[in-house]
Chain A
Amino acid sequence: MEAFIKATGRAVVIPNDSINTDIILPKQFLKNILKTGFGPHLFYDWRYLADGKINPKFELNKPEHAGATVLITGVDFGSGSSREHAVWALTDYGFRAVIGGSFSDIFYMNATKNGLLPIVLPEAERQILRDIKPDETITIDLPNQIVTYNNNQFHFDINPQWQAKFINGEDDIDVTMKFEAAITAFEKKQPNFD
């Protein structure tokens, strides 16, 4: 996993609430057996018209938003299906952080496994961020847990263990393998009714 310490980037605003993972990546793209190549299908039904052409009205398709790395959205982002493919589509597209009012529990964990930083900020602060212009940038400082935009500084919370994982770019399984002895000991004391 790519480490995330401090990042500065341009942002795109998709303010809707309850953007579920069916919207982020529709099911017809879940048949891929790899983790890559989902970016072109991100927000598929919003990004493309019925005839397959690009929908020029959708935010991501506006030329001034090309290369944005921060997504600013509403509450309840990533609800519904557990598909991690939704996170892979966001990172494959180039997003490194999503700032929302709240995230579904499963989506949040999936994001932490893939270096996509989910940041929860209250409505009043997101309202300020929603006015961001295409040529302005946001800076995310993970060790200090601060989002900076123009003269505004917003603090955000994150579980210290998830924070450390982002900063170190660690693979979870390597970390867990250090507990091998504890896992084996746990298994030995399990009840058996067979």
Chain B
Amino acid sequence: MEAQKEETGFPVLGQTAPDFEAVTTQGTLRLSDYKGTWLILFSHPADFTPVCTTEFMAFTEIYDELKKRNTELLGLSVDSVSSHIAWIRNCEEKMGVKIPFPIIADLNKEVAKKFGMIHPQQSKTETVRCVFIIDPESKIRAMLYYPLTTGRNMAEILRLIDALQTSDKYKVATPANWKPGDPVVVPPPSTAEQAEERLKQGFECKDWYLCTKKVPEGA
């Protein structure tokens, strides 16, 4: 019998996220169970480690805000489901924080390999701190990779969700350091005629290629 081919890869932006079925702290879940909602799939190196614990408490702090944005959280590490359960119980008992989202027990690294979560220069066995933002059509829309030493910034993750949802809703882009309520960038014209017209369309323009406008806050 032919051995089953191991699926490995480093996803790229815009591709359909590889589907999987995995054991989690909330039962067996498939990526396709999240169709119709935004999903933040994130990995951490290991349970019962200090930086990861602070991150899980911080993810929990933004969970209600994420839910308002039709966004779910799904954690992952290569620990067992028993380890995850013991850790989240510890977080509740010792830190007073109840972790409300599921965590994948990726003991055989099947999901981690599909998503390129193991970076051997960092660790040959643990997943680095990855964040994959997956849209309701299961497309990978943004990726963040942080090293083992550095905890993630929840404000940036929330801002990224707001930026992507605003871009989708209003067909615009968002400038550096954008936050909800700030002006957004109108897509640059693609013909000389459009460039000429652009300056008469009532946008705030520095020049024909850099025009901004206001959009309602909250996508």
Q: Do A and B come from one complex?
A: no
> B residues touching A (Cβ–Cβ < 8 Å)?
none
> A residues touching B (Cβ–Cβ < 8 Å)?
none
